[in-house]
């Protein structure tokens, strides 16, 4: 059991929530938290647990959560190439099993990772119209799960909330509109 149990943000990814739980309870990493509580051996083992709703519930129970945590967003379909993402079958290659892609403006508003950022087909923020980034703007390191604080680069400790947003191209914005049904004029945000 852990002493501090934060509340999840709307549409927060389970990995984001677990990193926040680890950080706010003084653990150096997500693995440090789940290794002692549930016997998780590696990041791959953790991703497997997160894709199996029963095991994910057991992990959260071992941490002291009975409810009030993000639902599992993927579910192993039993095949080798498909995952269930919020009720939809999709190829494994379309799912990011880390905390890499992010919108710097969303992260600045609330420092957590959104579920939709877990999809490779999601390239632009539908709220801000900026490109999702997957590396630290200070040192260039590719982001992943191995960090103790969600909004800091594990390599150089740069605060990712200070990242300057990059406007998405028209093609990427049109793709986001087709996928997510948005009609917002994102360009007005940058004028």
Q: What is the pTM of this model?
A: 0.80
Specify the length of the chain in residues: 191
What pLDDT score was predicted for residue 187?
A: 40
| Per-residue pLDDT, 83 | 67
**Do residues 29 and 22 lie in contact, with contact meaning Cβ atoms separated by under 8 Å?**
yes
8 Å CB contact between 113 and 13: yes
Q: Which two tokens stand for residue 147?
A: 């960090």
pLDDT (tens place) for every residue of the chain, 191 residues total: 788 899 999 889 998 999 999 989 988 888 888 887 788 888 888 888 888 888 999 999 999 999 899 988 777 766 656 666 766 777 777 777 788 899 999 999 999 999 888 888 788 887 888 899 999 999 999 987 777 788 999 899 999 999 999 888 877 777 766 665 554 444 433 33
pLDDT score recorded for residue 173: 72
Residue 145's nearest CA partner among 154, 132, 136 is: 154
């Amino acid at each position: 059991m852990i002493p501090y149990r934060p509340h999840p943000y709307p549409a927060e990814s389970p990995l984001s929530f677990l990193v926040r739980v680890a950080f706010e309870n003084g653990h150096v990493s997500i693995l440090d938290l789940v290794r002692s509580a549930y016997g998780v051996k590696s990041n791959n083992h953790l991703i497997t647990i997160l894709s199996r709703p029963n095991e994910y519930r057991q992990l959260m129970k071992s941490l002291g959560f009975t409810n009030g945590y993000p639902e599992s967003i993927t579910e192993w379909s039993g095949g080798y190439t498909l995952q269930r993402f919020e009720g939809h079958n999709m190829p494994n290659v379309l799912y990011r099993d880390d905390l890499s892609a992010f919108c710097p403006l969303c992260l600045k508003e609330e420092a957590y990772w959104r579920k939709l950022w877990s999809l490779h087909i999601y390239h632009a923020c539908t709220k801000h119209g900026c490109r999702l980034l997957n590396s630290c703007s200070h040192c260039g390191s590719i982001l992943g799960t191995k960090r103790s604080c969600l909004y800091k680069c594990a390599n150089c400790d740069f605060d990712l909330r200070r990242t300057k947003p990059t406007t998405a191209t028209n093609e990427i914005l049109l793709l986001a509109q087709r996928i997510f049904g948005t009609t917002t004029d994102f360009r007005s945000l940058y004028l």
